[in-house]
Structure 1
């Protein structure tokens, strides 16, 4: 049907297609290979729906325009000409003729402003619109870059629903590269609903175990390995998909299979040649006459080469800013003697060597002196003492029997290493008197025969709580309860590193940030190369709020001012969006603005003079901290020597943090009236004043718990002092007192005032409890008892006058005189 062999253009099929199109104007082509399709338009000026051209040379990507079967859908002018590896079947052509014109479907998509509830976040709808716009422009390779945990699968389901609903797609192939991801996608189609019906029941869905779609199939899930087998390696042509079988291919985790992330495929490389794997992966996408949509959190260079630059990007940083993903705490950098000093072997020393292929130990004599640093641990040199020391530290901080702390994912170097870590963790939990069940700590790797069952348990059940993996769980697996990441494997790939961190970014009730435990220097090795935000211009990402502010103030032209002001507002808005309710309340109080976003928006058109007047607020927001194949065997002893933590906004050492706090208090006492009142007239301090002080300090990285921890570490003294004591100590040099000592001193004076009745003692105990919670009552009795909720709801100052009579004001006055004397 409509087949034209333009032999005289044998060397240039693309040119021959142009000639074939011109030639076809003289003819009317009729359907001879399938049932006639009635009432389709006359596709002027050619009078034919489809045009083909070939020189008979098999398709080769390197000679794309001189090989293959070139095809053009003349009904749809925006439909790109493209080469096919084989001819359409009669059924392919019949189905194509039965489809509406693409321009009509594109208009229906554009007019459809209804998005399923399963993916109705603003950025998900923006991503869908970006893809649909690209489809309408005739693009056949489309890339979406969306951070891990932002709902790519749900977004894809919503997109597929809209494409099928508006008759832009008859059948869609959802391509993954692992069975576990195929199962996860199938479950998502069953679990997510449009209205009251699961998507899988609305559209006939074939899972990866079904080789061929039925005529009614609208969505088919397949692994790339299975599709490669059916397309290129099978002798059974009945199971071979045809080029026109799918209108769209959605490629999940589109970065997979390319050379930049080859470290992900340690197990696969034992069975597949990497270059062949990459070639076949791409060949699957190129085989079909279908628009390919790639989805990934971490685009590789090769990904962009195939799919083009992302039509939409939603970064990890932006998702954290918008409150959809978790930030991470400052990492726990676990340092041991061996990790600090390395492992040394001397020339002629006889050592044991482990042969992975034979699965046995061998004797080996060292040909020269050699020193292995921590990067080689668990790969080039197996060291159980190092791993035991790390496991001893981990069991001090993790508890598989307490689900409130979330789950833990440990990345090991090899399958054998994963076995060792599981064994050592169980032994060390036993040693500290916290034995765990056999399934509480588990290995899940590519060699786990029951990995799909274990992944499901890890996601949905209490146990396993701690899982050790190699590469199986680096990508695509959604377990929202993972709140701890442990690196025991050093990787050099940015993509792999970001995928590993991405396992813990999903929000989990009760956890405000996830933890990173790093005994092998992974975090430091990568921090210069990644910020989990590869789609944003690097220079802009690295600029701070204060840097953008300075650039705006120093701008010499209106265009420069506009650009830097835009960057400043964007930075402010991102930080504001990341605040939870408590943090937002702190910051609002600190800058005295009821609507932080509205205030930031007001700066979009601000003059330089206006920006200067807002310097205090901008500085406060800027500094607000938001919630960081053979191997030698070594038996050299090891132990943890230190676990470092950073304090404040700059991850400082304890003593430096305390010194910075002292300098800040001394420099700010004249700029912030409430701090001056606290230092010179603490009895006049109101709860509102104290809350503002706490908000300002928190914005600059100074928090009560951190100050207590830093004081304990720097001075070897554990004093649970409150923020008022820390401020007065920094400003006046007064001794630091615990909160209990301060309250006991004041209340002992009150208890000695009179022979109190039972009812009065009950109220005095309430006053003492409020002092321990709030550190102060207020400048006078009227303010204290009318402002503090527990007194206010029982009648406030008037009620207290009934209980204590004339002594009411004296009680508060005496407390204020003795709290911070």
Structure 2
């Protein structure tokens, strides 16, 4: 459809349009018009340019390009259809900007919408203001969040109407969105924004985040008027409105009260949270089908909401689906789970614990003619039936197609005896995925029985079901997030997406899912950092084989992350670490290990320690350790050794006599869930076969001193793609050789390629730093900076091949970078990095 013409209902073209003020009055056929129009379609009449017409009407001549009004429409009465997009819909063009293209709307703007468009700031000017503004809110100023916002703003500047942002669960999509809204409103690029969610709990969570996140001393909600879920329409002053997709569908398409129906121009931007949830896939009807069916029955309501408004739509998701990219296009920015783990913004998961039972291995079999019990879900009653044929069920069918209480009992017994302890909140919380609501009830009951049987009875509200069937699910979610109990929650679908509980350290799978997106959302419930409980990794307990089933397709495979050491590790390596020269990081790590141990001690053991050391409070002593100066810290070493001697309580072991019986567990490594020896052997084989074909591997093996931090991250990602990660190598090495090691990935690669000896990460860095400490008689300021260099090297593994590269990292850049290091160390700045690199891998 050409912009310079309008289509009449009868299919004819017209070159002129008639307006009164801002209200559209009709289309005038070429060279014919009627001067006496009062809101009716023009009647054909000969036209002359010299004929006068009333001053409150305005004639627009498209062919001449002489636009006398800012906004132009064209329509033929057909509702907008994607497959007929050039021949349907109400097409709108903002004639103030000839470079902008026309686009289709479902309805005309209200006069108020057009009045607001006229008073809005020029988009080009607002876009440039955004480009020039490098001040990002503190609550969303991580590098990747800033980059995400910049990429979205660039897409807006380029005129994109559909934009997609992909960020891993737990990396702060909501905070990023709030920061983006703040910037759009601040620079008047948006006058009103709709924040769309798919469930009430997410809407409440977003509203709370808008209230909690602040600019200076003011919350975002106090700076800009915010309407929440219960508010149907915004006020004139409202800048942000939160709504559910379901609520907006009702207001737009099933609303008899026109006054409550939002206008197409009510929002300038729509931010769609959890945009992977498409509700129904769109279907385009063929020309023949269109004659018999209503297209509205085949268009997802989710998409209809987005398409209804004359607004730029920004979708946010951790797991883009096909229908997501169909609506929003490819992501303008992506931040993956693997990258977030490598950047220490998320936690990795440990090798899964595969719980095996006799039934899960052999399956459940019913013979032809057997009389079995059937549960009728509709009537919630049990009936009997004789089987006409043999029936066989594998573990993937458990709890869905076949109800097996004995299987669930064995799994719950194992979890209660070996894995979970709701009575110790410092061990984190647990989320269990059940197959159905009735299955969730069963698991809650069996777990309570299992803890009682294990000699560890729990409070009644320590284990609860949270599904859509309970009376106040949002209240229970809030308790799960903020209170001690519930500690273990059993859910079906309600908590699979969008719920943020950082204390979750255990995921238990008692159901299979076929969707990669749903599986990754489930894993995402446990990825968040939680320093309060020293969360380093999270655990997966898999009783139905979902980990292996999804491992080939998921994007959330385990990534490298070092695990903190226990007290015995530090005590054993006292001489290696050089206790006379304590580093700040060493003191922090040891203090954390002390804290973890005392939290697991019972009252009797705690009193024994206080008596033997003459310390009045073990808790206060542990809290003070990290703040002591070097001399005072060394004076506490005898007490640290005393704490190491105290053995923790071992859990009791119980054997189930149920018809199903415990077979064992399996710790799998890598993509094939290999045993430790095979995993190490396959890693060594991979390195030898690829050391000459993967450039980064060759650098690690032959020239580690030339390695950059970015190259190290790339090689970690490459190894992870092939199933190898640092933490699993350390764990497998310990299992295979009965020797604990904290060797980093570089040491493992060199051991595989060259046969080099594995050296613990901290020890290797300490030895190299001793060479640096011996280079000169450093003054106090220089010694302080050497400690910072050592701590940074412990954290990042490598600094860089030369001083200029090493001191350009974000940590040193904030301190003044290479230029500042030259001032502090004079000519020795370059020599420090040279000596370090020469001695790290000798």
Distance 1:105 1:44 in 2: 27
1:408-807, aligned counterparts within 5 Å? 408-509=430-531, 510-532=534-556, 637-646=659-668, 652-653=674-675, 703=730, 709-710=735-736
Match of 1:105 in 2: 126
Mapped contact 1:76–1:101 kept (Cα < 8 A): no
The CA RMSD measured in Å over matched residues stands at 3.8
**Secondary structure of 2:92's partner?**
strand
Alignment partner for residue 161 of structure 1, among 182, 185, 192?
Answer: 182
Residue 373, structure 1, aligned to residue 394, structure 2? yes
Aligned to 1:76: 97
Corresponding residue of 1:400: 422
Could you say what secondary structure the match of 2:506 adopts? strand
Q: Which has the higher contact order (CA 8 A, sep 6+)?
A: 1
Cα 1:29/1:137, change in 2 over 3 Å: farther
SS at match of 1:241: coil
| Bigger share in helix | 1
Change (3 A) 1:310 1:391: same
Q: CA deviation at 1:31?
A: 3.9
Is the 8 Å Cα contact of residues 144 and 293 (structure 1) preserved in structure 2?
yes
Deviates more, 1:44-53 or 1:438-447: 44-53
CA contact (8 A) 1:249 1:290 kept: yes
CA pair 228-699 structure 1, distance change in 2 beyond 3 A: closer
Q: In the alignment, is residue 152 of structure 1 matched against residue 173 of structure 2?
A: yes
Q: Relative to 1, partners in 2 of residues 1:647 and 1:374: Cα closer, same or farther, differing over 3 Å?
A: closer
User: Structure 1 residues 137 and 722, CA, compared in 2 at 3 Å: closer, same or farther?
Assistant: closer
Instruction: Describe the shift of the 1:142–1:482 C-alpha distance in structure 2 as closer, same or farther (beyond 3 A).
Output: same
Shift of 1:101: 1.4
Which residue of 209, 213, 234 corresponds with 1:192? 213
Shift in CA distance, 71/402, structure 1 to aligned 2, threshold 3 Å: same
| 1:118-137 equivalences in 2 (<5 Å) | 118-137=139-158
> How many angstroms does 1:373 deviate by?
0.2
Partners of 2:362 and 2:728 in 1: CA distance? 34
**Structure 2 gap ranges (5+):** 26-55, 57-63, 283-295, 578-656, 687-724, 744-761, 768-842
Deviations 1:282-341 (A, max 9, x none): 100000000000000111111101100111111111111111111100000011000000
8 Å contact kept, 1:257–1:277:
no
Contact 1:33 1:90 in 2 (8 A): no
Secondary structure in structure 2 of the residue aligned to 1:313: strand
Question: Do 1:258 and 1:302's aligned partners in 2 also have CA atoms closer than 8 Å?
Answer: no
Paired with 2:740 and 2:230, the residues of 1 have a C-alpha distance of 63
Contact 2:281-2:300 at 8 Å conserved across structures:
no
Unaligned runs of 5+ in 1: 37-42, 262-274, 534-540, 542-573, 591-634, 665-697, 713-719, 725-772, 779-821
CA separation of 1:254 and 1:700: change in aligned 2, threshold 3 A? closer
Render the CA deviation track for 1:365-421: whole Å, top value 9, x for unaligned.
111011100000000000000000110111121001111211111110000000000
Structure 2 partner of 1:139: 160
1:328-372 Cα offsets, whole Å, 9 max, x none, are: 000000110000000000111111111111111111211101110
Partners of 1:702 and 1:721 in 2: how far apart? 11
Q: How many residues align?
A: 570
Cα distance 1:79–1:409, how it changes in 2: closer, same or farther (>3 A)?
farther
2:663 and 2:542 map into 1 onto residues whose CA distance is 14
Shift of 1:30: 4.0
Secondary structure of 2:403's counterpart equals strand
Instruction: Report if the CA contact (8 A) 2:196-2:271 is conserved.
Output: yes
2:589 alignment counterpart: none
Distance, in Å, in 2 between the alignment partners of 1:355 and 1:316 is 42
- Do the aligned partners of residues 296 and 287 (structure 1) sit closer, same or farther apart at CA in structure 2, a change above 3 Å counting? same
Distance in 2 (CA, whole Å) between partners of 1:177 and 1:388 is 35
Q: What is the TM-score of this pair, normalised by structure 2?
A: 0.63
Q: How does 1:18-97 map to 2 (within 5 A)?
A: 23=16, 30-31=21-22, 46-97=67-118
Compute the TM-score of the two structures, normalised by the length of structure 1: 0.64
1:335, 1:642 within 8 Å by CA — same for their partners in 2? yes
Mapped partners of 1:72, 1:722: distance in 2:
67
Determine if contact 2:431/2:507 at 8 Å carries over to the other structure. Answer: yes
Partner of 2:267: 246
| 1:218-257 correspondence runs (5 A) | 218-257=239-278
